[in-house]
Structure 1
Amino acid sequence: MVHVTPPDAGRRSERSRRAIFDAALSLVGEVGYDKLTIEGIAGRAGVGKQTIYRWWPSKAAVLLDAFTADAEAADHEQALPDTGDLAADLKFVLRATADEFNTPEFQAPYRALAVAAANDAKVAAEFTGRLLEPGIKVYVDRLRRAQQAGEIAAGVDVRIAADLILGPFTQRWLMRTGELTYAFVDTLVDLVLDGLRNPRP
């Protein structure tokens, strides 16, 4: 008797999930968030739309999982470099971040998620918890180490300090008020660190 191995449901589900993620990310870049639909994602992925609804309640939920899948699969503790030179470390990371934010592959889904978060409190909570807060935390941790090393003033609130760095960066990108250039990043870091080293009494 020939032994037939039954289909691996888990592997099939993972293939479908990956296809759905790829479809969502490619489609949002092509048609924008407003025109992105569950039906369109299902058609591009080659699955039934009920398959998507079984796993996700909305297109925003699909897109959020798709956008964060690779980062979460890496499963490693993120940290900013610590060479002992805070300004150099921040400029290095923010320059790399600017490069990433300037790519079409990153821009389309991130902007779409920002729009969805602005209009849906539940999406906003997920967006903040899974994307924004982990990113802010690595800055807070690096600034705290710099504070302990005496690179910035002892009384500085390092969470607010992280917001001072990331807020203008994100605002410029989201609102398209200017380009994310290395010159902008370097100037931003220098201005913020000057304030952190010499806070007003």
Structure 2
Amino acid sequence: MKTDKPAAARPAAKAPDASRRSERSRRAIFDAALALVSETGYAKTTVEGIAARAGVGKQTIYRWWPSKAAVLLDAFLDLAAQANEALGGDADSGIPDTGDLAADLRYVLRATVDELNDPKYDGPTRALAAEGLVSPEFAAQMTELLMEPQLAHYVRRLEAAREDGDIAPDVDVRIAAELLTAPLSQRWQYRGRPLTHDYADALLTHVLRGLSPRP
């Protein structure tokens, strides 16, 4: 007498990975926010537009962020982290330390010039700056989360250079970092003259001349 074998049990269906789905949505929102602000400008960018571009509901955005400015800031922070990783920096230094201060700073300053001239960065950066002018609270948040950490990378590299005797022992490294970065931002902001590698190199030469140890 033939008996039927019991059917093999089907493997249990795998539960959807909510964290992976959330990360995909977050990445799509970042990409959409950066693209829209570059294409249409900050004023015409809306949460509804970001949601439509990202393929999510606007309630998804409001669950994570209170405003389009907050979305854009997080998107830009993510973009800046990617740029820092591409430069070979790490979470502690942010600027490569090869032992050659001039070469390390030249590399990073030139990369900064390239970023500021890149439409991918230009539009979002100008949008963040514009929002900071009308919202002191947002400006403070942007300073804390974006500007201060970026400047801190220069401060740490200059502190190491001061310890190695590459710059004068009495140099205020915070002021020195501002001397290196502020002129790039000013020239980019006002578009009066081209922002080039040659300009970054000349700026570095003048700043390092002032920081050099005195005989």
Q: State TM-score, norm by structure 1.
A: 0.89
Q: Deviations over 1:63-104 (max 9, x none)?
A: 111122255576743432333332222112111221122111
What one-letter code is carried by the residue in structure 1 that aligns with 2:17? D
Question: Could you say if the C-alpha distance between residues 88 and 18 of structure 1 is closer, same or farther in structure 2, counting changes exceeding 3 Å?
Answer: closer
Aligned to 1:108: 123
Distance (Å, rounded) in 1 between the aligned partners of 2:141 and 2:132: 8
Q: Deviations over 1:115-167 (max 9, x none)?
A: 11222122222212222112111111111122122222221111011001111
In structure 2, which of residues 173, 178, 183 is the aligned counterpart of residue 163 of structure 1? 178
**Where in structure 2 are the equivalents of 1:7-156 lying within 5 Å?**
7-72=16-81, 76-156=91-171
Aligned to 1:180: 195
Unpaired segments ≥5 residues, structure 2: 1-8
- How many residue pairs match? The answer is 199
Distance (Å, rounded) in 2 between the aligned partners of 1:103 and 1:69: 16
Distance (Å, rounded) in 2 between the aligned partners of 1:153 and 1:78: 21
Q: What percent identity do the matched residue pairs reach?
A: 57
Pick the structure with greater CA Rg. Answer: 2
What one-letter code is carried by the residue in structure 1 that aligns with 2:59? Q
Distance (Å, rounded) in 2 between the aligned partners of 1:101 and 1:77: 23
What one-letter code is carried by the residue in structure 2 that aligns with 1:61? A
Distance (Å, rounded) in 1 between the aligned partners of 2:126 and 2:23: 26
Q: Higher mean Cα deviation, 90-99 or 122-131?
A: 122-131
Distance (Å, rounded) in 2 between the aligned partners of 1:97 and 1:72: 13
Distance (Å, rounded) in 2 between the aligned partners of 1:68 and 1:191: 30
Q: State TM-score, norm by structure 2.
A: 0.83
CA shift, 1:51, in A, is 1.5
Q: Deviations over 1:25-64 (max 9, x none)?
A: 1111110001110111111112221221111111010011
Q: Higher mean Cα deviation, 73-82 or 162-171?
A: 73-82
Unpaired segments ≥5 residues, structure 1: none
Aligned to 1:4: 13
Question: Could you say if the C-alpha distance between residues 25 and 127 of structure 1 is closer, same or farther in structure 2, counting changes exceeding 3 Å?
Answer: same
Question: Could you say if the C-alpha distance between residues 84 and 69 of structure 1 is closer, same or farther in structure 2, counting changes exceeding 3 Å?
Answer: closer
